[in-house]
Amino acid sequence: MKKKYEYGLVLSGGGTRGFAHLGAIKALEENGIRPDIISGVSAGGIVGALYADGQDAEAALKALITKNLLGFLKLMIPKKGLLKMTGFEKTLRKTLKAKRFEDLKIPLILHAVNINTVEYTRFDKGDLIQAIKASSSIPVVFPPVDIDGHQYLDGGIVNNFPVEPLVDQCKTIIGINVNPLGPEYNISNLKTIAIRSFHLSMRNHAESRKEECDIYVEPEGVQKYGILDLANAREVFDLGYKKALEVLQKK
């Protein structure tokens, strides 16, 4: 069967560990590899949207650090989430030229969970910003995102490594997983417990799906960085870059 795309790129969730996605993308570009379609979830969805919007890896890193994408998160009295995404949408709208999937330069598929119908939902057309928010809304930490009367949470709950849409569509599938799980001893508050529990629920997603990838990148060391930590963005970026170069050199 003839494949529609040359290169497909899968980007996992992982919070600000997603900066490693950008480093890996830089390494891919330096090796003449540019994806023709992207499937992402959560942090991978944010990075995928920026790249599909036409920003190269370094420009996207600079934009996210300068505009402080997570700097608008505010603590709220727990009702549906611990943190309110105040200003998150505003920052996305300032950063992205495209406002709809149809405006992107590269086809993008995002994923979220409809908690009303218990369905894993694919977004690939219509309002881009709402889909990014829905795909990135970590349960308990952030409130669900309302789209057309339905509530959505982070797609990583069900599948944090969404390779399936690219199978049989791409000659070469490249997977980048920035959410390996290692020991963690600083678990001191409800937010930390919620995030850790979320990670535990999705720890095997990439492991069971990485065989579908022709090129698989999992940067070592990213697990020591918090998933809402912007302070070490460049270090995380470099981990992704170095690991991707290492993998590509072996091909």
- pLDDT for 91: 80
* The two three-digit tokens of residue 19, written as one number: 């900066």
Query: Rounded to the nearest 10 degrees, what angle do helices 233-249 and 57-66 cross at?
Result: 160
Output the DSSP codes for 13-50. --GGGGHHHHHHHHHHHHTT---SEEEE-THHHHHHHH
Q: What is the CB neighbour count within 10 angstroms for residue 18?
A: 30
- pLDDT for 138: 81
- pLDDT for 19: 94
- pLDDT for 224: 82
| pTM beyond 0.75, yes or no | yes
42 carries an active-site annotation: yes
Please report the beta strands in 71-228, taking only residues with DSSP state E, as ranges in sequence order. 74-75, 83-84, 108-114, 119-123, 145-147, 150-154, 170-176, 215-217
- pLDDT for 183: 55
Q: Which of the 8 DSSP states describes residue 202?
A: T
Closest CA to 91 of 129, 57, 40: 129
Q: Which of 42, 135, 136, 137 is catalytic?
A: 42
154 carries an active-site annotation: yes
- pLDDT for 86: 60
| Angle, vertex CA 60, rays to CA 22 and CA 225, nearest 5 | 50
Question: Going residue by residue through the chain (251 aa), what tens digit of pLDDT does each one get?
Answer: 789 999 999 999 988 889 999 999 999 999 999 999 999 999 999 999 999 999 999 998 988 877 555 544 444 444 444 455 566 777 888 889 999 999 999 999 999 999 999 999 999 999 999 999 999 988 767 889 999 999 999 998 889 999 999 999 999 999 999 986 655 556 566 656 666 666 666 565 667 788 999 999 999 998 788 767 778 999 999 999 999 999 999 87
- pLDDT for 75: 43
Q: Which of 36, 135, 136, 154 is catalytic?
A: 154
